[in-house]
Chains A and B, each alone.
Chain A
Amino acid sequence: MAKVHKFRVSSTRSNQMVCRSMAAAEAKGTMMRTAGRYLGRWVELGDRMLRNFGTCAYLAFDRRPELRNAVITATEEYGAQFSISRVYLECALYRELECNLERIAGRPTLVAPATTLAHMAALPVIVHDEDAVIIDQFAHASLHSATDLLRDVPVHLVRHSRIDQIDHLIQSLSPRHENIWLVVDGLYSMFGDFAPFQELAGLLDRWPQLHLYIDDAHATGWLGTHGRGGALTHFGHHKRVVVALSLNKAFGAAGGALALPDAELKTRIRRCGGPMLFSSPIQPPMLGAAVASSKLHLSDQHAATQAELLHRIDFTIAAAERARLPLATQHRTPIFFIPCDSVDQATDEAQRLLSEGFYVCPSAFPAVPVNRPGVRFTITLHNELEDIAALVEAAMAGIQRRGCSVPVALAAWNYGALAPDALE
């Protein structure tokens, strides 16, 4: 049954539309570029070194010596590739990694080759034929792809973070379905807003049939005890919540992981979750990096590392407020989005910032809605405070020059107040 459509656009046509949009961006020189040297704080594009505001390596672990050394050690011990399906034989590093991740997450954890593949392994196993699925329209594309695999289950789209609509839909679905799975992101990757965790907790209390599947890829590592993310901070002990984590991004390595409510479910997904059987395993060098990263997460210093990033996030928010730089949301996260009035404006703005020495990402449909183009930038421990101050100043100068309407429309864009206290 899959997604419940009111009108169907063919995949071919949908691909053609996306291809046209990407080709236009590529022609403008803002997409599909190839980097030269990468130093964390700096990334080379063409013949210039740019301040890097495009990476999701929020904790700068991608350049940490501990991870780089672990890559070398793991390569020497296990080779560049361990090319046997995990269903037969897994590299020894998997066991150490999962053991550490269980301490980080505080619950049984299963490593997958990527977060996308974790979704594709888990959802067809945990969602049964008698169930129904509700998915937030802005949930990550990988979640939409994974729910497309649920052939016999109705999948309903809901407007972004609209708890009232979700509640209404659960009410209508509950008499006909044994379980209802709500699929959301913990931290939305484009506009940088958190899921409404407290309201979701209310829904879990109200509806015993409700289960949550949360992709917390962008909050893994930099948020919560040992970097378990926002979703596990709120729902770590809840039996009806499954959380997907990323071992890329802040974690600085490769792969994804499922934090599961019990060991039995872990075994079931391990045994029959498609990509757990048929996809290549994570390569030993990156398993080594992931193990090293997990040790850093479990170390006493990790909270201080997280606090350093939060300091930079707060510095960015304060600088933006002082400069009156409009942002799509003001949640306390490392993802920032400057709304623009058109795709051309977003592209021009990104180009201008590139020319002034800042690497940022112009964003347009299909990454964001057609009517919400803009410039996305991320804050990481690679960025020095002076870099952030310079970027905010340069971005605001562009807005003043072009006379953007965005401040007027900001209220309608903002998905809520600052991050809940529990996350601060």
Chain B
Amino acid sequence: MDRTGALDKTLREIYAVISFPEGGEPNWEGMKTVFHPRARFTRITPEGIDYFDLESFQAMAMEMLDRGVYTSFYEEETARRTHVFGSLAHVLSAYRTKRSPDASTSLANGVNSIQLLWENDSWLVLSLLWDEALPGDPPDLHQLFAAEVSCGESA
């Protein structure tokens, strides 16, 4: 598989491993194959910003499951823009979370900013940074992807 195909596969796997059906939990073993051991997770919320590594991300997620904040989770990608140079990739990935894959509307919408590293013949996520749109105000993908700010000689 070429690097472009491998990148697409990794991105699909990200959404697959964090999603889980009623009564389940994220695929923690799968996460270890998608995320780099030094991966960082950064969650932006109106109340504050959280920084996690794999272990503390798992602890946070399990606490939310134990407290019944979530009993299932399904997130899917709705649009993507990718930049690749050498062994690095940056992906702006718009997402929506739903109650289940069949749900007619989304619970939430947001954007994942993902940095990946090509290592040992696969793309591994080095950083996942996400922010969620406020209820009733989903991200405008056309505006989001059109609004690139460039500078320098080739701008």
Contact = CB atoms under 8 A, between A and B. Distances in A.
Main secondary structure of the interface of B (DSSP, over half): loop
Most buried by A among B70, B100, B105: B105
A137 B63 CA distance: 11
A409 B99 contact: yes
Contacts of A16: 46-47
A412 interface: yes
A91 to B, nearest CB: 39
B70 A341 contact: no
B59 A7 contact: yes
Contacts of A373: 107
B102 A369 contact: no
Main secondary structure of the interface of A (DSSP, over half): loop
A321 to B, nearest CB: 21
Counting chain B residues whose Cβ lies within 8 A of the other chain, the interface size class is 20 to 34
Contacts, number: 96
Interface string A134-175: 000110000000000000000001111010000000000000
B48 A13 contact: yes
A315 interface: no
Given A16-B47, A370-B107, A157 B71 contact: no
29 contacts: A5-B63, A6-B60, A7-B60, A7-B63, A138-B68, A159-B23, A341-B98, A341-B103, A341-B106, A342-B103, A342-B107, A365-B69, A366-B69, A369-B68, A369-B69, A369-B70, A369-B71, A370-B69, A370-B107, A371-B72, A371-B107, A372-B71, A404-B104, A405-B100, A408-B102, A409-B100, A412-B23, A412-B100, A413-B22
Given A405-B100, A408-B100, A412-B72, 16 more contacts: A6-B59, A6-B63, A17-B45, A138-B68, A159-B66, A160-B68, A160-B71, A341-B104, A341-B107, A342-B105, A342-B107, A344-B105, A369-B68, A409-B103, A412-B22, A412-B23
Interface of A: 5-9, 13, 16-17, 20, 24, 137-138, 157-160, 162, 339, 341-345, 365-366, 369-373, 402-405, 408-409, 412-413
